[in-house]
Amino acid sequence: MSEAAPGHAEVVRIVAPNPGPMTLEGTNTYLFGADPCTVIDPGSADPGHLGAIRAAAAERGGIGLVLLTHSHADHTEGAEELGAEVVLPGGGETQAGLRVLPTPGHAADHVCFLSDSGVCFAGDLVLGLGSTIVPPGGGSLAAYMDSLALLQAQEIDLICPGHGPWITDPEAKLAEYVEHREMREGKLLAALDGGERSRAALLAEAWSEIPIELLPMAAMAMEAHLEKLEGEGRLPEGLRE
């Protein structure tokens, strides 16, 4: 089922049936504009989901272009099935009336799309609920923080996240994201300054409130912070498992 964006009739959302701990209720697929429309992040190749995209697009003059925010499979799997040109831009250009912002961090090839009306299609840079993962092998927390700062410098009225609900107060959400990462870094630095060098001890101290089932994702987040500190020359020697 499609849902129009609050205050922006030019945007429709369809949620892919791929729920999970990292995708929340599923990947958000967006349709932007009309005659023809642009599909952003088609999500899964589930036949029902693809059918819903085609049906919603038919009401908007068909599909002219498929845009991807990044190359992770939960955003791209159904792209080639839609029968239109698929583009993952490099950033700095305009595609289908959308300005392409290079926003690496969650993925090295991550971009966001910004419309003239202030709608930002943020992919996995910002989620509607919780915080996003900065994974090893392509992720970079230093780049991620720069990307959040880039979004903070834009005039944004609505964020359409890759997962989770619409973000109707972009300024507050972006500030929350920055403060969350700074808080974690502060806790990690405090543990390191206190002499902790074991990864297990650092995780237990800096992520002490995390439920046990989320500890694997917390450990991934910690590695991203440690990599950032090392790159900045602020990581003490002697780190161990």
Q: Which of 173, 99, 181 is nearest to 146 (CA)?
A: 181
Cα(109)–Cα(105) distance, rounded to whole angstroms? 8
Does residue 241 sit within a domain? no
| Pairing of β 8-15 and β 28-32 | antiparallel
Judge whether residue 17 has pLDDT over 80. Answer: yes
pLDDT at 138: 85
Per-residue pLDDT tens over the stretch 178-220: 999 999 999 999 999 999 999 999 999 999 999 998 899 999 9
| DSSP tag of 69 | S
Residue 236 lies inside a defined structural domain of this protein: no
Number of structural domains (the chain) is: 2
Task: Please state, in angstroms and rounded to a whole number, the distance separating the CA atoms of residues 56 and 14.
Answer: 9
Residues in a beta bridge with 98: 95
Dist. CA 137–CA 23, nearest whole Å: 19
- 55 and 151 share one domain: yes
Q: What pLDDT, on the 0 to 100 scale, is given for residue 22?
A: 86
3-state secondary structure labels for all residues of 92-109: CCEECCEEEEECCCCCCC
Q: What is the pLDDT of residues 94-108, one digit of tens each?
A: 999 999 999 999 999
pLDDT exceeds cutoff 80 at 67: yes
Q: What is the predicted pLDDT for the residue at 43?
A: 96
pLDDT at 66: 99
The model's confidence at residue 33, banded by pLDDT at 50, 70 and 90, is very high
- Residue that the structure tokens 């959308």 belong to: 98
Residues 22 and 118 in one domain: yes
Last residue within a domain, chosen from 126, 147, 168: 168
Indicate the average pLDDT of the chain.
96
- C-alpha dist (Å) from residue 116 to 46, 94, 154, 155: 32, 11, 11, 9
Range list of H helices, the chain: 47-58, 73-76, 141-152, 170-193, 199-206, 215-231
Q: How far is CA 67 from CA 28, 99, 121, 181, 217, in A?
A: 13, 12, 10, 29, 28
Please compute Rg for the chain using Cα positions. Answer: 19
Using alpha carbons, select from 199, 208, 187 the residue that is nearest to residue 240: 199
Reported as half-sphere exposure (CB side, CA atoms, 13 A), residue 129 has a value of: 11
Same domain, 137 and 223: no
Name the DSSP letter for residue 81. G
Average confidence (pLDDT) over 160-181: 99
- Residue 181's pLDDT is 98
Instruction: For residues 150 and 217, state if they share a domain.
Output: no
pLDDT average, residue stretch 47-74: 98
**Secondary structure element (H or E) that encloses residue 111, with its range:** strand 111-114
Residue span of the structural domain in which 136 resides? 2-168
What pLDDT does 4 receive? 97
36 lies in the same domain as 151:
yes
- Strand 37-40's sheet: what is its strand order? 2-5, 8-15, 28-32, 37-40, 63-67, 86-87
CATH of the domain at 46: 3.60.15.10
The answer to whether residue 240 sits within a structural domain is no
- Asked whether residue 239 is assigned to any structural domain, the reply reads no
pLDDT at residue number 239: 84
